Each structure stands twice: as C-alpha cells, then as structure tokens.
Amino acid sequence: MASAGRGRNGWALAVAVITVIAYAVWAGASVYTFMHLPPIPREIVTSDGKVLFTYQQIVQGKYLYQKYGLADYGSVLGFGGYFGIDFTSYTIELWEDYIASDVAGLKDFQPGNATQVQLIKPYMEVAYNKTDNVMVVSPALYNATQYAINYYSEYLGNESAQNRLKPDYITNRTVVTDIVAFFTWTALISMLGYTNGFPYMPGLIQPSTNVYVASDLMIFVFMVGVFVVGGFIVYTLLSYWRDPVTPIQLPAPNGLQRSLLWALIIVILGAAVQGLLGEYTMHLYASPILYGINLLNVLPFNVSRALHYTLAILWIADTWVIFSLFLFPYLGLQLSRAKAWGITAGAIVVSVAILAGIWLNYLQIIPYSGGEVMLWFMFGGQGRDVVTQGTVYLLALAGLLFYVAYLWIKVGETTVPALRTMSKILGISIAGNAAGIVLGALPVVHPWVNYTMDEYFRWITIHSFVESFWPAIIVDIIAMLLVIEGLAPVRLANAIVGFDAGLDIITGLIGTGHHYYWGGQPWIWLYVGSAISLLEAIPLGFAVIYALLVWRRGEARTELQRTTLYVVLIAAIGGGIGAAAFGGGLLNAPILNYFLHDSQVTMAHAHAAFPLAFGLPTIFMWVLMFYLAGAVKDLHLKWVRWGSLLYGVGFYLQALLSLVPLGLLQYRYELKYGYWYAKSLEPLPLDPRLTPFWQLPLAQDLVWIRMLGDLVASLGFVIIGLLLIITFFKGAARARDS
C-alpha cells in the first residue's frame, strides 16, 4: 500500500511539474516571438510622398476595431467571427477591384483571375524601410485606399443593419478612417510575407513553402507519438485493468448541499438562453429579421455571438464551481454556509457582470476613452474574439478559481485515500486554467498595441481552457465519479487522470502554436504548432477507448451506473471525434488550415467537440446533484439517457448536414476567387455581377438545414432541463407540505 501511495502522489507531482514546464516553454517562446513581430510603421506612404496612415492611426484603429466588437462579427487575417467579412482580404480585393477598373483600365476584370491580377500586381507593390520604419506603397494605392474608406463608411454606417450590425453603427468618418488604417496594416504585413502567405488571393498571395513542409513533418511526428503514447496506455490498461473496484457510499446531502441546487436553477436557465442565442445568431446568417421582428438595435450579430459563446463558458465554469462545493462535504472538507454561498454568489455575479459589460460595450453605451486607462476595456468587453470579457472581471474570475483550486488541493490531504491523487490533480488543473485567464486579462488597462502580440496572448488563454486544462478537469471529475460508483479501479483511474492531464497540458499549451500560423508570428510556429498540437488528438482518441472498455467491464448494475456510463460514452465518442477528427484531422495541418481557416468547418469542429466533451458531462453533474439530493429518482434516469443521446445526435446533425458542407463550399469558391469571397455578404461595388457567398442559394439552403440539428439538440437539452426543474420544485413543494 505504501508504494501504491507513493505512485499516486507521483502522478500529482508529475502534473504539477508538467504545468510549470509547459508555461515556462511558452514563456521562453514568447521572447523569441516578440522579437519577430510584424512592424507597425511610423508611416505608410506612397513612393511619391503622400501619407496614407500614421502609426497613431493604425494603433487607434486596432483599439476601435476592438471597441466596436468587429472581431465578433468579421475577422482580420482570418481571426474572428465566422460570418462577417474578413477585413484583411476584403481590403485587398477592394484595392484590386479599384486599380483594375480605374488605373489599369481592365473593365472586364474578374476577381480571382490570376492572369489579370498579374497585370495590376505592379500597382500593389509594397516595401518596408526598416531604417526609417516606413512602409512604402505605389501611388495607385492612395486612391484605392480612399475607395476602401468610402466603402467601409457605407458598410459600417448606412448599410450596417443589412449587414447584421446595429443600425447606423459607425457614422463618424474619422473613426472609419482609423479602422481602415488598421485593416490596411494587416493587408500590408500579409503582402510583405509576415503571415506565411495568408490570406489566399489568386495571383497575388499564396502559401509559403514552410506551409507544405510543416504539414509533412506533422504526420511523421504524429505517427511516432501514436506508437509511443499508445504503447504506454495499453501497458497501463493491462497492468491495472483487473484491479478490484470498491464503491464509496455517499451519505444523504446536508442542508448546505441541497441549498446549492437553487444556484443550479440559475445556471440551467443561463444554458437555455445560451442555446437560444446560438439559434438566433445562426438565423442572422439567413436574414437580418427574425420572423418579422427586428432585434438589431439590441441584439446585432456581434452582441448575440459574443453572449452566446461567453454564456457557454460561464455556465460550464459556474457548474464546476457549484459541483465542487457540493462534493466537498463528501470529501472531508466542511465549508460554512456563508463561505460556500459567498463563492457561489461571486461566480454568478461575475458572470452577470461579464455579460452585461459585453452587451453595454458593443452597443456603445459605454463610451470610448483614450489615454492609458480604457474603462470600456476593463469593465466592458475587450473586443477580442472569445476572450472578449472585461479584464477586471477576468481577474475576479481567476481569483475565484485559484481559491477553488486551493480547496481541491486541500481536499487531497483530507479525503479518502482512493480520491486523494485525483483531488490534487483537479486542483492543479483548475489553478492552471486560472493562470491562463490572468494572461487573457493582460495588459489590464488597455489593449495590446501590436495585433500579433494580442493574438498570441488571446490564443494561450483559449488553450488554457479547451485544449489544456478543461480536458484534464473533465476527465478527472469523470474518473472520480467512476471510482465512487465502483466502475473503475483506483490505480487505473489515477493513471488515466495523471497521464491524460500531463499530455493534455504539455501538448495543449505548446500546441497553441497551431493558431499562430497566419497572425504574423514567426514561421517556426508552423512546425511547432502542427507537430505538437496534433499530439493532443492522442489522449482524445484514447478517451473513446477508455469509455468503451469501462462499458465492456459489465459492472454497471444500478440505473445510476448505467446512466453514468451511457453519458460518458456519448461524451467521449462525440467529443473525441469532434476534437480529434474535425479538429486535428481536418484543421491542424497547415496546408488544410490555410484554406479552411475561420470557415464553417472550424465551427463544425467547435460544435461537435465543445458541447459533447464539456457540455454534456457538465449537464450530467446537474443530474448527479439532483439525484443525490433525492429530487431525481431512478425512474427518471431513462429520460436523462434519451436526452443525452438527442443532445449528441443534434450537434452532429449540425456539423454533418450543415456546417461541414458549408465549409467545403467556402473552400471551393475560395480557390476560385480568393479568401475574401468565402465570407462575402454583398456584391463588390465595381463588380455587382458576382453573387456574394452568403447570397448563394446553396449556401442559404445549408444554413436552413442546420435547423434540424438545432431542434434535435434543443429537444435533448429540454428533456433533461425540464426534468431537473420539475422534480426539484416538486420536491421543494413536498418538503413545505411536510
């Protein structure tokens, strides 16, 4: 037993060391990356001396781009919302269109015609004078840029409502000019080669050689990793598989634990609103009007999208906090009612503040402020896709999670021996996630000046959630439940949790580099990002095997045991395939990512992986809490199983019937016209003959087909959600009557 104890402690120590190493490697890589950022020039000038934009305009434009939430609508360099136009490639296309028509005299210019682009390419030359820190462009680009300013003044102003933004969103021409200065900078660093040849513009910009070589190297590294990691996992399974299982009997919950169910009702309602916002946001792809009702004054696309994904993060995180507080008394940690409810109330209040801040900022109710301290950035929304929460709220959330992490590590010293290692690893994982949130709040009082640095920090924060620590957290909680219910041996559970956490953390944090392909980071990230991040797929793939093997053990006898394994199986298979196949398979290789970047295939990956890998297990935590409290009975659990199945099937119907076909359709037209066309919403002013992508009949049909998946997934959620709410209030009514 002593050696087994040392082994269990060894897993927790290993995860802690790996976490420190992973962050240290990332920090070291940061130094190199920040020494190779794309330059922000003192001026952008024409070769005959006219000034297009200054450094101050470029930086101010970046800030305004964030303040107006345009990253939650469209994108620059392919980073941002999946629906609105990519402002980088669209700006380049506007230049091509204007120069071809008004400078080169190509009245029959066809976008994507590489031969014609070669004729206008001399007018689009750009050079960087490092000594003077000046970017020099041809005189033709001066008027072409004025044309772009005129275009965006209409697009973001008088035409903003038809483009799914708040009506008359940006009517100040000076503001638009500064924003276009930022768009211009992103276009020029692309043309200067800082983005590895992204975005694709036929005849003008194409993938660099490194894109192809890195894709080949990635496959080699992955094959080696499969054999090494797979061999260790199989050895571990064979070593511990026949260990005995010992269920842990849990007593009836106390009054504090039962009271926490009230907080869960709020979380369940928040999850329901999150789903409705997702359906509304997708409806805007097809029409700016919701069945005759115009909500764009209060819920334009950028607001609804930001609230949709932020609510997803919050209801999952809040559940994990409440679930932790619910479990602590079982694990030997007694918290006072005041402390437990203080933590719970803090999580809910911060969540509401985050949502309100985003809404108020994107509707421009929070005014723009210059200077070093920008209140909209701190208390509103940062305007960074996914990491858009106000920095003060992020720091508050991080502080809350650090404290919960401390409590879990403390539980690792007080609980029964079988759960100590898993408790410590869970605490380490929550702390690692909190550290990533702190990085997402930097530099706290104002945005980063250089967009490339901004993207660098933004993605490490995202990866500290979904790629690194959230998988470790969810696997840990599931393993803990399997041990408690007598469905998994302790040594096997510890090995799975420790090994999975270590591999997720090291590959997830360093593998953040697969998001650094096109944002201006050095080319070395093509190799590091593709090779390391694909190794994340290995533990995800084996998660499916774990679930199937535990199912095949045949030890599920009670309704709760059967339901637990059923949900784990759906989550593991659905989430594992969504992350490994849709993510690692379709998107990770640089050459594939180059053409599918920020397309609907990316959204298919998110919708197949996130709701099943994280959402469904979190929903099961609700079920378990209500079950242990006596509200949900054995006879109700069959509905939980049906709801879980429909929930999983619904998201795969979304992906397979709508999102993946849409993404492949975008890919087809991108090859023909360029990246700009894949998210085009209205015709080019000088070429109205070309139907925009989102107006293509097939694209519109595929948008509407998604409704089938939405309805099935919603039905699954409603079955479980209503079951929990109805049984809870029935139980509360019976308690009052007695």
User: Quick one: average pLDDT of 473-484?
Assistant: 92
Looking at per-residue confidence, does 67 or 550 come out higher? 67
User: Quick one: average pLDDT of 333-348?
Assistant: 96
| Alpha carbons 158 and 151: distance in angstroms, whole number | 11
Confidence band of 521 (pLDDT split at 50, 70, 90):
very high
What pLDDT sits at residue 554? 66
β pairing state of 75-76 and 126-129: unpaired
Helix axes 637-653, 559-579, angle to 10 degrees: 10
Helix (H) / strand (E) element for 707: namely: helix 697-737
What pLDDT sits at residue 737? 55
Token representation of residue 228: 């090494």
User: Quick one: average pLDDT of 639-666?
Assistant: 97
Side chain identity, residue 24: A
Candidates 213, 170, 77, 117; CA nearest to 672 is 117
What pLDDT sits at residue 160? 97
3-state SS assignment for residue 136: strand
- Residues 6 or more apart whose CB falls under 8 angstroms from that of 409 comprise 423, 424, 427, 428, 431
Question: What Cα–Cα distance (Å) separates residue 438 from each residue in 234, 327, 474?
Answer: 37, 27, 21
β pairing state of 134-137 and 43-46: parallel
End-to-end Cα distance, the chain = 48
| Alpha carbons 676 and 661: distance in angstroms, whole number | 18
Whose structure tokens read 């594992």?
576
Q: Report DSSP state, residue 39.
A: P
Candidates 6, 36, 23; CA nearest to 519 is 36
Candidates 618, 715, 621; CA nearest to 311 is 618
What pLDDT sits at residue 541? 65
What pLDDT sits at residue 449? 96
What average pLDDT does the chain have?
Answer: 92
Helix (H) / strand (E) element for 545: namely: helix 537-552
Whether 303 and 359 have beta carbons less than 8 Å apart is answered as yes
For 87-145, write each residue's pLDDT tens digit: 999 999 999 999 999 999 888 899 999 999 999 999 999 999 999 999 999 999 999 99
| Alpha carbons 78 and 676: distance in angstroms, whole number | 10
| Alpha carbons 608 and 591: distance in angstroms, whole number | 22
Confidence band of 732 (pLDDT split at 50, 70, 90):
low
Polymer length in residues for the chain: 738
For 554-589, write each residue's pLDDT tens digit: 677 899 999 998 998 899 888 888 888 888 778 999
Whether 421 and 12 have beta carbons less than 8 Å apart is answered as yes
Whose structure tokens read 């901004």?
454
What pLDDT sits at residue 1? 35
Looking at per-residue confidence, does 151 or 3 come out higher? 151
Candidates 634, 640, 735; CA nearest to 259 is 735
For 609-632, write each residue's pLDDT tens digit: 999 999 999 999 999 999 999 999
For 435-448, write each residue's pLDDT tens digit: 999 999 999 999 99
For 270-280, write each residue's pLDDT tens digit: 999 999 999 99
Q: Report DSSP state, residue 390.
A: -
3-state SS assignment for residue 201: strand
For 240-249, write each residue's pLDDT tens digit: 878 888 889 8
DSSP one-letter string for 101-118: IIIS--TT--TT-HHHHH
For 214-233, write each residue's pLDDT tens digit: 998 888 887 787 777 777 77
Confidence band of 371 (pLDDT split at 50, 70, 90):
confident
Question: What Cα–Cα distance (Å) separates residue 450 from each residue in 61, 190, 520, 540?
Answer: 11, 15, 10, 34
Candidates 702, 728, 726, 675; CA nearest to 96 is 675
Residue 574: count of CB within 10 angstroms of its CB: 25
Looking at per-residue confidence, does 492 or 724 come out higher? 724
What pLDDT sits at residue 476? 94
| Alpha carbons 26 and 24: distance in angstroms, whole number | 5
Gyration radius (Cα) of the chain, Å: 26
Candidates 413, 409, 402, 401; CA nearest to 427 is 409
Residue 733: count of CB within 10 angstroms of its CB: 10
For 668-708, write each residue's pLDDT tens digit: 999 999 999 999 999 998 888 899 999 999 999 999 999 99
What pLDDT sits at residue 223? 78
Whether 514 and 467 have beta carbons less than 8 Å apart is answered as no
Print the SS3 string covering 235-272: HHHHHHCCCCCCCCCCCCCCHHHHHHHHHHHHHHHHHH
User: Quick one: average pLDDT of 15-41?
Assistant: 94
Confidence band of 2 (pLDDT split at 50, 70, 90):
very low
| Alpha carbons 183 and 176: distance in angstroms, whole number | 10
What pLDDT sits at residue 24? 93
Instruction: Establish whether the linkage from the previous residue to 288 is cis, with ω within 30° of 0.
Output: no
Whether 579 and 680 have beta carbons less than 8 Å apart is answered as no
User: Quick one: average pLDDT of 308-333?
Assistant: 97
| Alpha carbons 505 and 16: distance in angstroms, whole number | 10
Give the chain's largest Cα–Cα span. Answer: 89
Looking at per-residue confidence, does 544 or 89 come out higher? 89
What pLDDT sits at residue 221? 81
7 burial class (0-12, 13-18, 19+ CB within 10 angstroms)?
Answer: middle
User: Quick one: average pLDDT of 422-436?
Assistant: 97
Token representation of residue 350: 């911060």
* pLDDT at residue 7 tops 60: no
Token representation of residue 170: 């940006």
Candidates 723, 666, 656; CA nearest to 694 is 666
